[in-house]
Structure 1
Amino acid sequence: MTSVDAFNDADAETAAALLHPCCASTAWAKAVVAGRPYPDLDALIAASDPVVKDLSWADVEEALAAHPRIGDRPKVAVTTEKRWSQGEQAGVADADREVLAALADGNAAYEARFGHVYLVCASGRSAEELLGILQDRLDNDPAHEHDVVRGELAAITRLRLAKLFS
């Protein structure tokens, strides 16, 4: 946890490193850092959303690489991102084996169809709900799914910025 003032005062490299757990896109971090100073967390979050939505697909893929599959249960949460992902996916922790198996199958189908991990803002959602969303999104065309992924990435980033700066 850090303050927005400390973030504003940090050198660019340190500030970008602070942001990494929120969104692993280098381009996103550079753009948010370049927008400093921010008067408060709300302004920082407001600045983040349009940056996420304007990321190139390669930059989105860089961010996606830091996200585990929905339903994966890492043995040890050694990074901030992994700890946050575990908390965000808490609704999956008590899922029964059938739902976990369906999520694993759905993840595989999604990755085969779209070429990247299924990204969804999982906070406050049950395993069954996440599975339903995944199944619905399998019907999206790739261009529409890219837009959906950007929206989900923006939502996750907002939550994580709030965690980092609160």
Structure 2
Amino acid sequence: MPVRVQTCGTSSPLEHFNSAPADVAAQSLLTCLNSHRWAHRIASHRPYPDLPSLLAAADEASYDLAPEDLTEALAAEALPPLPEDTYAVAHTALSAAHAAYEARFGHAFVICLDGLPVTEALDHVLGDIRSRLTNDPEEERLVAAEQLRRLARGRLTGMLRGAGNCATSH
């Protein structure tokens, strides 16, 4: 069960995360990156004084992912959702590219689209899949690990900032 992020009141989302039981904090972290070792490592080093410190710890933990941890995290990922008005032919092209990628590398294609306009997402995903299909498997694992790290940072930031207009921001 993810940590319920409190956006108003006396405690910040980070304070709530820091004070949550270790198993609850780790479960919340698994929604950001599905690696049990990564989640437990971050949860065990609490409390964090601020969001940048937590993000630095998350980065460090993601750089230390062993191959089996990376496999665990990649198994839980899916393609980013496409805008609702995307043409059927684009879905077909993306499905075909993803199938080729998965056949070559044995895991889902992962990409962080944070900061990218929705209108550019499809072209960016297709271009990246095509480009990354030329990587050798070891090179691609490094690229995929970096994309997972970026996804985890964005998800962790979103989880701790909350959706309300009185959320703590750093």
TM-score normalized with structure 1 length:
0.83
- The separation in 2 between residues aligned to 1:55 and 1:98, in whole angstroms, is 37
Give deviations 1:50-101, integer Å, cap 9, x for gaps.
211211121112112221234xxxxxxxxxxxxxxxxxx3x54332222211
Aligned partner (choices 126, 146, 152) of residue 121 of structure 2: 126
Which residue is 1:69 aligned to? 79
Two-structure CA RMSD over aligned residues (Å): 1.4
- The separation in 1 between residues aligned to 2:62 and 2:152, in whole angstroms, is 9
1:38 counterpart SS class? coil
- The separation in 2 between residues aligned to 1:94 and 1:49, in whole angstroms, is 35
Write out aligned runs for 1:10-159 (5 A): 10-70=20-80, 89=81, 91-123=82-114, 124=116, 125-159=120-154
Structure showing greater radius of gyration is 2
> Are 1:24 and 1:66, in contact at CA under 8 Å, matched by a contact in 2?
yes
> Are 1:99 and 1:128, in contact at CA under 8 Å, matched by a contact in 2?
no
TM-score normalized with structure 2 length:
0.81
> Are 1:45 and 1:158, in contact at CA under 8 Å, matched by a contact in 2?
yes
**What letter matches 2:137 in structure 1?**
P
**What letter matches 2:58 in structure 1?**
S
Could you list the structure 1 runs, at least 4 aligned residues long, displaced by more than 3 angstroms after superposition.
none
- The separation in 1 between residues aligned to 2:74 and 2:141, in whole angstroms, is 12
**What letter matches 2:128 in structure 1?**
I
> Are 1:4 and 1:41, in contact at CA under 8 Å, matched by a contact in 2?
yes
1:156 shift after superposition? 0.4
What residue ranges of structure 1 are gaps of 5+ in the alignment? Answer: 71-88
> Are 1:64 and 1:116, in contact at CA under 8 Å, matched by a contact in 2?
yes
- The separation in 1 between residues aligned to 2:37 and 2:44, in whole angstroms, is 10
- The separation in 2 between residues aligned to 1:16 and 1:164, in whole angstroms, is 13
- The separation in 2 between residues aligned to 1:93 and 1:132, in whole angstroms, is 20
- The separation in 1 between residues aligned to 2:108 and 2:87, in whole angstroms, is 22
Distance 1:69 1:150, change over 3 A: same
Report how many residues are paired: 147
